[in-house]
Amino acid sequence: MKPLIVNNLEIRLAESDHEVDASQALRYRIFYDEMGAKASPRVLKTERDFDPYDEFCDHLLVIDRERGSAASPCVVGTYRLLRGDVADQYAGFYSEGEFELMPLTHRSGPVLELGRSCIDSDYRSRGTMQLLWRGIADYVFKHQIRYMFGCASIPGTNPSDMKLPLSYLYHHHLAPRHIRTHALDSRYVDMNMMAKDTIDAGQALRELPPLIKGYLRVGGVIGDGAVIDYDFNTVDVNIIVETENVTAKYLNHYTRDTDQAPNVEAAQKDRIAARDNAA
């Protein structure tokens, strides 16, 4: 994917170890300093959030070009991207530690795991999130991705404290059976804690983190069951987005310029045709 510059911010994939290191430093500040994740001694010593998946994932970065340097870039937003063909060559998907993904990953068509999403507190604006989505949109079309998925988190480790948003997701956004992932039996938390007719949808949406609401706006659906992640101080759900549901009109909004808009729609049609021919 080609870099995109908007004012002082640039969105592109990491191109050096320095840039990956800067993204890991940002993740540490957000996940450990801000959100209270439990750091291992090595993570605490280095002040970096890292795991083996970082070695073979692509790292999507938002960089403030007016700060930092080549040796110490100012990364203010990040996503970790893991394609199915890459996961098959290495350690599988990160989400497999929490969810049974077979109903999704065994469908025809390429898949993409989204993870480790965070934005620096000084840059949490609609514009920064839009840049990340623009990068994801480019990546999806380049690699002909059919499904995007990943763990999405609600802060806290007591599911009863979040019974309203979890029940809302279960009753209103449960994935169709043919792609419905499931929390691992050993970690399964039932999301159906309130009857559907007792749910205040407006209040439930207000209690959901912005990232989850963003996925819902582009047609995201939820796997069955949540998982408590004590290390990261969250309750996780598995989000699934079929990229066909991310309409050409929506993606056109996130392409680099209006001249590209017809290419977005054509690429979408080509991806659908290729998937159908492979099926």
Chunked into runs of 10 residues, the chain (279 residues) has average pLDDT values of 89 96 97 94 96 97 92 94 95 95 85 95 90 90 92 96 98 96 97 98 96 91 97 96 64 45 40 42
- 114 forms bridges with which residues in the sheet? 81
Task: Quote the pTM value.
Answer: 0.86
What is the distance between the alpha carbons of residues 29 and 36, in angstroms, rounded to a whole number? 10
Q: Which of 192, 193, 76, 87 is nearest to 123 (CA)?
A: 76
Cα separation, 261 vs 254, whole angstroms: 9
pLDDT in tens, 47-67: 999 999 999 999 999 999 999
Q: Which domains does the chain have, with CATH numbers?
A: 6-278 (3.40.630.30)
* Cβ atoms of 251 and 134 closer than 8 Å: no
Q: Is 107 exposed, middle or buried (0-12, 13-18, 19+ CB in 10 A)?
A: middle
List helix spans (H) across the chain.
17-28, 41-46, 84-89, 102-105, 126-142, 163-173, 201-207, 210-217, 248-253, 261-278
Quote the tokens at residue 84. 């199915």
CB atoms within 10 A of CB 94: 19
Closest among 119, 126, 111, 136 to 13, alpha carbons compared: 136
155-185 pLDDT, tens digit per residue, is 999 999 999 999 999 999 999 999 999 999 9
